[in-house]
Amino acid sequence: MTAQELRRMYVEFFKERGHKEIASASLLPDNDPTVLFTTAGMHPLVPYLLGEKHPLGSRLADVQKCLRTCDIDEVGDDTHLTFFEMLGNWSLGDYFKEEAISLSYAFLTTKLQIPVSRIAVTVFKGEEEIPRDEEAARVWKEMGLKEEQIFYYGRDENWWGPAGQTGPCGPDTEIFYDTGKEPCGRDCSPSCSCGKYVEIWNNVFMQYSKEADGSYKPLPRKNVDTGMGLERALTILNGKDNVYETDLFIPVMDELKALSRVAYSEATKRTFRIICEHTRAMTFLLGDPKRITPSNTEQGYILRRLIRRAIRLLQKLGLKQNVLCELASVILAQYQEVYPELKENSSFVLEQLEKEYELFQKTLDSGLKKADHYLSLLQKDDILSGELAFKLYDTFGFPVEFTMELATEKGICVDIQGFEEKLKEHQNKSRKGAEGKFKGGLADNSLQTARLHTATHLLHGALRKVLGDSVYQRGSNITNDRLRFDFSFERKLTPEELQEITSIVNQAIAESIPVLCEEMTPERAKKEGAIGIFDNKYGERVKVYSIPGCSKEICGGPHAANTGELGHFEIVKEEASSAGVRRIKAVLTEGPNLTQL
């Protein structure tokens, strides 16, 4: 089975059962500031899972592109990836456990032809305040599973949420494929890492609300959120041991073999896999509608880390010239029909890879020499100080991950804690590895985040009035305390421009303009001048939020009902985010204070 066959089979199965197909959202989440990237299919749907009405109804299905950074160091084995695709179906207050489980069971056994005997599931075993999920277990038994195929686990394995400190959450039931391998022992179960059981699907049942006091209350409107990893399912269905033997990776693997003229063997296997996996991830990041670019902070830092690691490994294979563009071109050609944004942004992808390669080459040689010098002064099992690791990073632009890899090759450890302390001291902000955490956000769906979200619409409109219609949103991040808005622009804004933008926003607040919401077709939205990324993957209907005279955008919410609720808008910082992208941080304070403007 090919990847495209599985994608279409999944979506068509659920469309035939009353679900509407929705577009894959950007890899930069708008609705969850607790993560750098869209790590699951539920991220773009947070407002709707929290009560907003979706324009396409209460039954949805999609193929969502995702990226997780927690597994970067494990990439190269049989299972771990950074970029992946998630097949998902949702019920927003429609069906619940019985129909969700029966739909999953039907797809697995009738469409994918997986024998019932090869299916194992886990359900929530219950705790003091939350009962054991007997309903899910009962439905699985009615589907034909035997008692020995059903396993009960606690919160760590079978519970989701809430996304913030409070909000919707609930038990889940995970579905595993039994590979047929011999059990690792008497207690072998899906919780083992022995490889007998491979998770392929997860059904989350959002049936409780966690309150501020820590208690759980049943939700009047229950949701279902499911996710099946495309790559993992494809590997199983094709009887392969790893994803690199499926059509997702064969083309780029073959191209790398041809370019390197190096044999693919046990000695080179991990290097080949990392290069190809990272090339796919970087291509999707650069080709995203929000155009992520390499930088030294946040999403741009992860992208730069992927690119530079791939470059180093290419050089390890003996490729001294830049072949990233050739490899990325394979990915672009392979995926552009599924994700049209890759075709639209193909020139940008290749241009950025050329720039980053040239930039890295200027720092790599000097950094490698200096790193080798520092490591040559140490013996096996010694420790390279955090101070020296930071000096390589700060002075020579040498990624600490490279320092760690070089040190590991020589049997030397790196004082990473010391490095992070130096980095935190230097920047006064540390993302601690791959993830950053903020308080609140749209996931909390609070009144304050709704107001800040509405303020981003006013800010976007004001920026376009002052700087021109070439300005477009490139990303946003909202916490309970502030908004952060990234937009396309080449230079630093002047104090006069910032003052004018601030005045326009506060004037709109002072006028107490109603915030209007209307559902319409994407074609009508475009005709009426709404701002959005118009491609052929929008659904049949979209939500358009209008603030007359100020803003008209396709958006999911939540929003304030009136601009007069926002208080006073103040820009606290304007800075570069990445090449061609500026960033504004702003706050809302109590009550308008237009005399200051």
Write out the binding residues for Zn(2+): 453, 457, 555, 559
- Per-residue DSSP letter, 61: E
H or E element, residue 368: helix 346-376
Q: How many CA atoms lie within 13 A of 240 on its CB side?
A: 20
- Per-residue DSSP letter, 514: B
328, 350 contact by CB (below 8 A)? yes
Of 188, 332, 321, the closest CA to residue 251 belongs to: 332
403, 384 contact by CB (below 8 A)? yes
CA of 66: how far to CAs of 202, 435, 479, 483, in Å? 16, 14, 22, 24
Of 247, 203, 237, the closest CA to residue 111 belongs to: 237
Those residues with Cβ within 8 angstroms of residue 543's Cβ, 6 or more apart along the chain or in another chain = 55, 517, 518, 519, 554, 555, 556, 557
- What's the start-to-end Cα distance of the chain, in Å? 63
Of 74, 81, 96, 79, the closest CA to residue 177 belongs to: 79
The two tokens of residue 126 are: 């219950």
Rounded to whole angstroms, how far apart are CA atoms 285 and 390?
Answer: 27
- The phi, psi pair for 577, rounded to 5°, reads -100, -50
CA of 479: how far to CAs of 396, 431, 452, 540, 585, in Å? 34, 16, 8, 31, 11
481, 440 contact by CB (below 8 A)? yes
420, 432 contact by CB (below 8 A)? yes
Question: Where is the binding site, in residues?
Answer: 453, 457, 555, 559
